Amino acid sequence: EIVLTQSPATLSLSPGERATLSCRASQSVSSYLAWYQQKPGQAPRLLIYDASNRATGIPARFSGSGSGTDFTLTISSLEPEDFAVYYCQQRSNWPPLYTFGQGTKLEIK
Amino acid sequence: QVQLQESGPGLVKPSETLSLTCTVSGGSISSYYWSWIRQPAGKGLEWIGRIYTSGSTNYNPSLKSRVTMSVDTSKNQFSLKLSSVTAADTAVYYCARVGATTPYLDYWGQGTLVTVSS
């Protein structure tokens, strides 16, 4: 089973600052990694898929990078609505198993 | 715009079976995988399993012995049954669609809280 480890657990920043979130896989997932944003009381929302592609309607300030085992989600200039919990996710080929990282909480400093 | 809505009892007794249904609107249920994911309060996301519209299923090994998923294409619905529940199964349960060509969850329901308690 592939384990995804996110860091840091909590990131405290101010609006306008740049956020860098990390996700590390226990073995290579190629570029098959996604990022989700979850706000309190809401379902997760797909932000980035295949490591670097923005999902429909996602602002350009969100970008993803990486391949293999190390991935990064970058928010170039934080807006107030960006403070949330972020999860990375991958799916192993066989058996098909979808796994999530434990999440990074992005909070207002 | 595809929308998903979970429905089912919000309270289930220990040792009984949790049953939830997800209704898909704004698009066909056909030719997609559909998943269930759960999230205990204050914790992360756990994938429960997925079902294709043919009825083919894959389950999380940690829950496999207790999970059954089914699909009703005529009603644009799919369902989850989780047997022998305990307090550890208390969580918000989400249904979600897996993208047509990518292994990601692109549409989600709003989630429904299921509490296991006597």
Task: Give B14-38 pLDDT, tens digit per residue.
Answer: 999 999 999 999 999 998 999 999 9
Secondary structure (3-state) at A74: strand
Dist CA A36 CA B13 (whole Å)? 32
Q: Say if the Cβ atoms of B103 and A91 lie within 8 Å.
A: yes
Q: Average pLDDT, stretch B96-115?
A: 93
**Cβ of residue A91 closer than 8 Å to a chain B Cβ:** yes
DSSP single-letter state for residue A82: G
Residue with tokens 């997800």: B22
pLDDT-based confidence at A95, cuts 50/70/90? confident
Question: Between chain A and chain B, how many beta carbons pairs sit less than 8 Å apart?
Answer: 57
What is the arithmetic mean of pLDDT over B46-58?
Answer: 95
Q: Distance between CA atoms of A5 and A60, rounded to whole angstroms?
A: 25
Q: What is the C-alpha separation between A15 and A35, in angstroms, rounded?
A: 21
Contact B111 A43 (CB under 8 A): yes
Would the pLDDT of A43 be above 90?
Answer: yes
Contact B35, B17 (CB under 8 A): no
B76-85, B94-103, B107-116: least confident range: B94-103
Average pLDDT in the A32-42 region?
96
Closest partner residue to B45 among A49, A55, A87, by Cβ?
A87
Asked if residue A69 has pLDDT above 90, the reply is yes
